[in-house]
Structure 1
Amino acid sequence: MSVEVSVDPSAAPSQQRGGQNLGSRERGNRFGVAVGWNWRRVAGRVLQGLARLLTAPIRAYLSLRRSMTVASVSVLLALFMTLNVIWGFPWNGMMGAAVGLLAVGFAINRIMCPRLKLSVSLPRSAVAGHPFSVNVRLTNARMLPALNLRVGWHREGVRDIYPRRSVTAWDASPSVSLDLLRSGDQMQWHGAMRFDGRGLHELPDFQVASTFPFYLFHCRRAMATDTQIAITPAPACDDDDSTTRALLAAIGDWAHQLVAGAPVEYVGNREYEVGVPVRRWDFASWARLGRPIVREYQSPSIQAVTLIVDTSQRPVDDRSASRAQLKQRTREAEEWFERLMSVTATAIAEITSRRVQLNLCLTHEPIVELPTRSLTQPTDGVELMLVRLAAATPVDPLTGQERLGEAIQTLGTQPTLIFSMLDLGDPERVGLAGTLPGHVTYMPIRPPKHEGRGAGSGDTDDR
């Protein structure tokens, strides 16, 4: 069989010309897009420059108004007074002196405005509502000295336009004054700060103000600290309400039963120390050695338990409720969640105080991981747990149930305590109610408003 192949000599050149035309079109489109983008950038910069130029008088007025002090206002009033009297030699001199004093004082104040380098040292975590120490080191990086300084966290003499911006969730020690800070010298600000809410908080800007010369104007600079601190939940107290007392009592009983059931064994003798019970005295060794000897017992191994905090929370979404009711329910949900965090912090302190290794699981974390090593430094381990509580956020109940099941399967037969804002009888926990092993204790955390009901917050479900 023979195959005939026919070639059209005009086909290849036409295809080549078509490819050349297609490539030129693509390059043209790209060039057009680039030119259009550059023109938009130029137009945006031009509009931004015009806006800054048009608003320059307003911004200058606001800057001058916010920087004025009692002294500059007094000079300004004297200037106004010279305009309302008969012109003469003394009044012209007073007006010139007032204008010169304001102009020269404002220029010198802006020229001598300090530029400082800042470094902040503070603890890794702190308890909500409790003060913690802060150390701020300031270094004068300019060739000119910094004069008449006022440094601190508070914006003194500045009133915000919007009142809600003035409501802050932190407080700090008052600002301090410094007359002179030479070039290259350092100063330290020691004080305390307090955050009222739990979470990972950024430190506010550190405020530096100079009133040189003659306290006529304020030159304020806000220095970003770029520092974050973990504010851990405040532990729950017995005197909060009856539901809290019952809950803390249930946690204490669970930890006591856990430790009481741990076996102990005799490991040897040692010399007597003040406070050792009489039943541990070894009279035979005492008579043989001639000095007090006591028997020593300890658990054969450190018992490990796991605390699972279920951060599941139903979303607050009721279209039939008014805005005020929705806001009230949102606030109650936030208080309920903070109550869960406070009870967890108390449980961590209670369990770790009994020399029991504690593993903490939080269902808001994507992966529930259990530490495989023992806590060589219990204090550091407790602090790390509290820092994790500071970053806790609510999750969907279905996600929480899925992660609860994964954590329970990972634990094996290890004693486990579960804190949750949902009961086992709730629709979101029906699938978990019948699968809890016998070593797992489920403890619901209810809000204080359920105090009048028969089932208190301390009720537990052992499965």
Structure 2
Amino acid sequence: MTVASVSVLLAAFMTLNVIWGFPWNGMMGACMALLVVGLAINRIMCPRLKLSIALPRSAVAGQPFSVNVHLTNVRKLPALNLRVGWHREGVRDIYPKRNAMSWDASEPVSLDLLRSGDQMQWHGAMRFHARGIHDLPDFQVASTFPFHLFYCRKGVSTETQIAITPAPASDDDDPTSRAMLAAIGDWSQKLVAGAPVEYVGNREYEVGVPVRRWDFASWARLGRPIVREYQSPSIQTVTLIVDTSQRDGDERSTSRGAARQQRREAEEWFERLMSISATAIAEITHRRVQLNLCVTDQPVVDRPMRGGASSSEGAESMLVRLAAAQPVDPVVGEARILEAIQSSRSQPTLIFSMFDLGDQDRTSLANTLPGHVTYMTIRAPRPSERWESTGESDER
């Protein structure tokens, strides 16, 4: 029952009995008959809607994205007094902290009448607070016909997923974050600045065409102006390896509260790695450099060569892979790092890891790290700072 209907029924019941002196039996019978008839009509007229959703492939954690929901009445009866949206109408959560949702959406909308076969559209925004591959919740449809006495609620299954990518790290996070972002920017800048310019031959000077360098020896020999022709460097390919290796905490020797705190810190540390990786993808692809991403919880894919360079996936596809990333055993992570380095074909390679290069689980990697690989370590968070990393790179 709705709050308004209960209030009206109680007010009418008390008014008729106290002021007008109507007998209790008659009023009780009339009220019960009204409720029974209203409930029966409400269930008979309960709507059945067909749903289709249009939404982006991915969205950034904590940022809203647009959702379009198309609803079609598939019953022969019209749907009356509708409220449609993601939130359940007329339900109060008894345990709000325990049942806190990982998403938020625009408010439901009302519709008085939806005839058989007609279609309506719900357009609004939705937001997920955590990174990952999320299932969209059931779309809620509620009808209060007749007289707003009862709710007839139905959750329409969406059967749709969306990839929530990590939020990029910001310069406003903390000083250590700024140092790490500066290190990534310097590394990518040196990479582009150090690209060679290839000499391809000579040509005769043409009026209005810019000249990079004159060939005076050929000019003197041929008697006409000759210029040296250079070719812009081809797009360079970079490999980014995101090491998701993480040790499992020993919860048996600690209290429940301490174990919960350890899990929270481990999750923050891992999300820190994902944010830094998302920032690196944006920074490198912004400089028009082809990027190959390797995440150690996923098999290493050897991409084919096209025109002398390996084919590269789009930035959104790489961010979706980060959205699906999960911690992996350190032994598996090291093996996949070595495999990715071997398949990179001496391309410039950048590694992000939560392990120091001198860690016992990275001994084999430290002994065989090539010169074209840059290793950056993300440090564990400290109580004084939400996120902590050294911002230093180990180049071998």
Deviation at 1:412, TM superposition (A): 2.6
TM-score, structure 2 length as denominator? 0.86
Matched, 1:168 2:101: yes
Shift in CA distance, 339/145, structure 1 to aligned 2, threshold 3 Å: same
Q: Does 1:200 align with 2:133?
A: yes
Partner residue, 1:320: 253
Which of structures 1 and 2 has the bigger CA Rg? Answer: 1
Residue-by-residue CA offset, 1:375-412 (whole Å, 9 max, x unaligned): 9998x700000000000000011111111111112223
Which residue number corresponds to residue 371 of structure 1?
Answer: 303
Map 1:443-454; keep pairs closer than 5 Å: 443-449=376-382
In the other structure, the counterpart of 2:2 is 68
Q: 2:275 aligns with which of 306, 318, 342?
A: 342
Asked if 1:155 is matched to 2:85, the reply is no
Note the C-alpha offset of 1:320: 2.6
After superposition, give the CA deviation of every residue in 1:309-363 in whole Å (9 maximum; x if it has no partner): 1000011114332111110010000000000000000000000111110000011
Deviation (angstroms), 1:73: 4.2
- Counterpart-to-counterpart distance in 2, 1:90 and 1:217: 26
Alignment of 1:11-410 (within 5 A): 67-76=1-10, 78-79=12-13, 93-265=26-198, 299-365=232-298, 367-372=299-304, 381-410=314-343
Percent identity over the alignment is 68
Distance in 1 between residues matched to 2:207 and 2:132, nearest whole Å: 48
Q: Does 1:419 align with 2:352?
A: yes
Secondary structure class of the residue paired with 2:382: helix
Q: Give the C-alpha shift of residue 271 in structure 1.
A: 11
Q: Which amino acid aligns with 2:118?
A: D
2:365 pairs with 1:432: yes
Partner-residue secondary structure (3-state), 1:384: helix
- CA-CA distance at 1:247 after TM superposition: 0.6
TM-score, length-scaled by structure 1: 0.74
Distance 1:353 1:271, change over 3 A: farther
Counterpart-to-counterpart distance in 1, 2:263 and 2:170: 24
The alpha-carbon deviation at position 102 of structure 1 amounts to 1.3
Q: How far has the Cα of 1:194 moved from its partner?
A: 0.2
What is the aligned residue count? 375
Matched AA of 2:78:
P
Q: Distance in 1 between matches of 2:324 and 2:177?
A: 23
Give 1:157's aligned amino acid.
G
1:94 CA displacement: 3.6
Bigger proportion of residues as helix:
1
Larger RCO (alpha carbons 8 Å, 6+ apart): 2
Q: Distance in 2 between matches of 1:320 and 1:225?
A: 43
Q: Secondary structure at 1:139's aligned position in 2?
A: strand
Query: Deviation of residue 69 (structure 1)?
Result: 3.3
Could you say what secondary structure the match of 1:166 adopts?
Answer: coil
Counterpart of 1:234, as a letter, is A
Counterpart CA distance in 2 for 1:364 and 1:414 is: 22
Segment drifting more, 442-451 vs 206-215? 442-451
Q: Over residues 8-35 of structure 1, what are the superposed CA-to-partner deviations in whole Å (9 max), with x where a residue is unaligned?
A: xxxxxxxxxxxxxxxxxxxxxxxxxxxx
Q: Alignment RMSD, CA only?
A: 3.0
How far off is 1:266 after superposition? 7.5
Q: 1:350, 1:138 → 2: CA distance?
A: 41
